Chain A
Amino acid sequence: MKDWDEIAQGILKGQKRAIARGLTWIEQGRNDGKQLAQKLFAHAGHAQVIGITGSPGVGKSTLVNALTLTLRSQGFKVGILAVDPSSPFTGGAILGDRIRMQDSVMDAGVYMRSFASRGHLGGLSRATFGALTILDAAGFDKILIETVGAGQSEVEIMQLAHTTMVVLAPGMGDDIQAIKAGILEIGQVFVVNKADRDGADHTVRSIRSMLALAPEHPAWMPPILKTVAEDGRGMEELTEALEHHWQHLTDKGLLDRFRWNQTEHLIEQAVADVGEHLIRRARAGPEWSHWVTEVGEGSRDAEHVAEELWRQELQEE
């Protein structure tokens, strides 16, 4: 599969191999990957994107597996993106989230992909936005993104997910730290997983008292749910809460605003790409060193260079 049009058609039909290859192109930052995401954007916009974040080991992947099984039984198609950290030293990564998702991913109505963060801060990978577009266009109703459980830097997920789920587990002091550090503001649904362990009620109470500190009457009061991801307990309630939030966004017209913001982001991205393209070409061109010299001496404005580059680009077209 080489041709991007062929891949785009395959993605729209929901074919796993086309989706997989499209995601690779996006991840590699290739031009045809960007083109793909731009062309498919109009076909996207119907999926509920659900972010899943929380400290390492609280059971996010296990929860994704259990949640996927329940969503499937309700007739939804499910796309999953799981992000793990890249080594800052070698750039390599071991992506192990799939281990916990084996029960759910073989299904034809499920697609799961592991991503390495590739040095991108914010708990996500640079490719996430484009990847969401692809999965959405491929017809998945629910897209689950598991992020690196970094604790403090996941605010970015708010811009990408309609609903962010914060997962905690009993008896983890640092989770309460995480709540204090600002994870509280990003969660629309709180999950206390491993509720089969002692202390789950205590964790629920701590979250509740933290939420009570919220300044005013919020339009959405985040529910706090207990789950046992290992045997699927609490999944019906969890899917209900997620559906509730989706309904809330729809009723309040927030969904349209979300789509508007994403579209703006897409355009901003495209404009930034044009700038990048211009500067890359300019640097490789014969006039570059003269311009740098002249701008340095003050005989030419940097702005003139920009205008000149733009003029040349237009002339060529």
Chain B
Amino acid sequence: MIRVLVAKPGLDGHDRGAKVIARALRDAGMEVVYTGLHQTPEQVVDAALSEDVDVLALSILSGAHPTLVPRIMELVKEHHMDDVLVLLGGIIPEDDVDAMLHLGVAKVFGPGTDTNDIIAFIRDRVEVV
């Protein structure tokens, strides 16, 4: 069973995308922990750690990813959560994508992404026990 945390870090109130992702992953047979809006990076990582998720799915549309994602990835490394697959989606300008990948994000998904592609990507990357 694949466990996913869908998180909305920062002050971003756009939650439609996060909910679309959560439902799509549930319908694909995954267990999705949703923590709601306005999470600090510390809260996001604490939840991912406590819930022992395979995937950390971050949805950011506010433009704050250049500050939020480095902090989150720093905490992920601090807690030795190297086995967690980190995905990022929302409004991430093309120019920022490489920097996000460099931080350890596995892939960035922008507007109009087919949820089937996300599901396929996760299934491909996560070993199912």
Residues in chain A within 8 A of chain B (CB atoms):
16-17, 19-21, 23-24, 27-28, 30, 86-87, 90-96, 98-99, 102, 105-106, 111-114, 116, 118
Contact = CB atoms under 8 A, between A and B. Distances in A.
A95 B31 contact: yes
A98 B52 contact: no
A315 to B, nearest CB: 32
A99 B35 contact: yes
Interface string B27-40: 11111111110010
A96 B23 CA distance: 12
Contact of B30 (A17, A92, A112): A92
Interface in B42-96: 42-43, 46-47, 49-52, 79-81
Given A24-B52, A28-B129, A92 B35 contact: no
Contacts of A87: 26-27
A106 B46 contact: yes
Contacts of A111: 50
Closest CB pairs A-B (n = 3): A92-B26, A99-B36, A20-B52
Q: Is the interface of B mostly helix, strand, loop or mixed?
A: mixed
A31 to B, nearest CB: 12
B120 interface: no
Interface of B: 1, 22-23, 25-36, 39, 42-43, 46-47, 49-52, 79-81, 129
Q: Is the interface of A mostly helix, strand, loop or mixed?
A: mixed
A98 B49 contact: no
A94 B50 contact: no
A118 B30 CA distance: 11
B43 A94 contact: no
8 contacts: A90-B29, A91-B29, A93-B26, A94-B23, A95-B33, A99-B36, A106-B43, A113-B50
B29 A94 contact: no
Given A87-B26, A92-B25, A94-B22, A112 B50 contact: yes
A57 B29 CA distance: 24
A99 to B, nearest CB: 4
Contacts of B34: 94-96, 98-99
Contact of A20 (B23, B42, B49, B80): B49
A23 B32 contact: no
B42 A116 contact: no
B33 A114 contact: yes
A118 B129 CA distance: 15
Contacts of A92: 25-32
A90 B25 CA distance: 10
Nearest to B22: A94
A137 to B, nearest CB: 17
Nearest to A1: B80
Interface centre among B29, B79, B81, by most chain A C-beta atoms within 10 angstroms, is B29
Given A91-B1, A91-B29, A94-B26, A102 B51 contact: no
A96 B8 CA distance: 13
Contacts of B26: 87, 90, 92-94
Contacts of B22: 94
Nearest to B6: A94
